[in-house]
Every structure is written in C-alpha cells, then in structure tokens.
Amino acid sequence: MKRPQNRIDYIVYNNPQAVSQLLHEAGYEPPKKLSELCQATKLLIKKQGRAFIEKLVRLHPDRKAILQVEDQKKDCGCMACGHQSFELTGDKGTFLDHLMNMGSIDLERYYKNLNEKVKEQPGDKQLEEEVQMVWNELRQRKKQGAALAAEEAEEKPGLFHFANDILVALGLAILAGVLIGTSLQTKAHG
C-alpha cells in the first residue's frame, strides 16, 4: 500500500469510504483507486475551497484527538504568536498538533523567535529540539507547496505548449490546403 504524502492523502487513505461518499454527495463519481481518489479530492478542494475542506476535516481519522488538543490550547500558556510552546507542554504530540494548526506566517515568526531564544540560551537541549521540530514543519510545508505547484504545472500546460500546438495545427492545415489545391489544379489541367 502506498503511504500518504500529505494531510489530504492521510485523510483519504485512512477513511476512503467516507471520502468517496463526500465526493458522491458533491456530484462526482468517486474513483476506486486510492491514489485517484486523493487526486479527485484535491481537485474538488481547488473547485469548492474552504466549504469542502471543512467537510473533509470532519473525516480526519484523528479528529477527536485534535479537538481535545484544541480545547486544551484555550487554557494554555501562550507565546507571542498565540500558541503553546513545547517547553510548556513537554508533549511532542501536542506540540506538533499545535504546529500543524499554525498558519505559515505565524509558524515562520515563531521559528524566528525561537532562534533568538536559542542565541540567548545556548545549550538548552529542549529549546534546540523545539527549533528542530518547527524547522521540520516549515520544511514539510515548503515541500508540499512545491509538490502542489508541480502538480498544477502538469495540469495546466504553459503558454509555450499551447502556442506549439496551435503552430502544429496551423502547419497541418496549410499543408492540407496546398495538397488539395495541387490536386484540384492537376484535375483541371488533366
């Protein structure tokens, strides 16, 4: 079985029947293959946006655990960015869930703040571990962004490819016209 590559794949691979039902309710015939179901889900997200994402998130296999963390986050000792630090929780899973829920701008700001703290407190192993976890999340998001951009580039041929296709079609049309014209001239003189 192919391993999920991102959060959308994770939901699809762990709850394919519910995701298929969601696609069906949206008016689409869900594919049978999991990889194709992932692609169809991503396309529907592009078409319907936040409304579809909200439905999809309800199917997340770890939804209960995430909601528990969210409830705990309301009572946390928050940092400047509004999220709990690893230092305060001491629990990697909870901290990673917080990181996953952060927006990219907040996450980058948090990473910069952590780097400043590391400079102030060199040798703090827990702080260094926190910086590494935040860096890993940032790196993962950049990889996913690059993969999504590559996927979109494959789906949409560039202007150059479109122009090439038009030139080939135009060349074939001219060639066909010349051949028909030559054929008609030969018949007229023959």
Q: State the pLDDT confidence band at 78, using cuts at 50, 70 and 90.
A: very low
Q: How many domains does the chain have?
A: 3
Residues 146 and 75 in one domain: yes
Q: What is the pLDDT of residues 98-143, one digit of tens each?
A: 667 677 787 788 888 888 888 888 888 887 888 888 888 888 777 7
Residues 2 and 74 in one domain: no
User: Tell me, what's the pLDDT at 184?
Assistant: 78
Q: What range does the domain containing 8 cover?
A: 1-61
CA distance 38 to 70: 27
Residues 75 and 87 in one domain: yes
The distance between the two most distant Cα atoms of the chain, rounded to a whole number of Å, is 97
Helix H or strand E segment including 126 = helix 125-155
Residues 147 and 69 in one domain: yes
Domain end point (choices 21, 46, 61): 61
Residue with tokens 């969601």: 22
Residues 146 and 96 in one domain: yes
Residues 130 and 70 in one domain: yes
Residues 48 and 129 in one domain: no
The mean of the pLDDT values for the chain is: 75
Residues 17 and 81 in one domain: no
Residues 74 and 129 in one domain: yes
Residues 19 and 104 in one domain: no
Angle (CA) 92 117 108, round 5°: 65
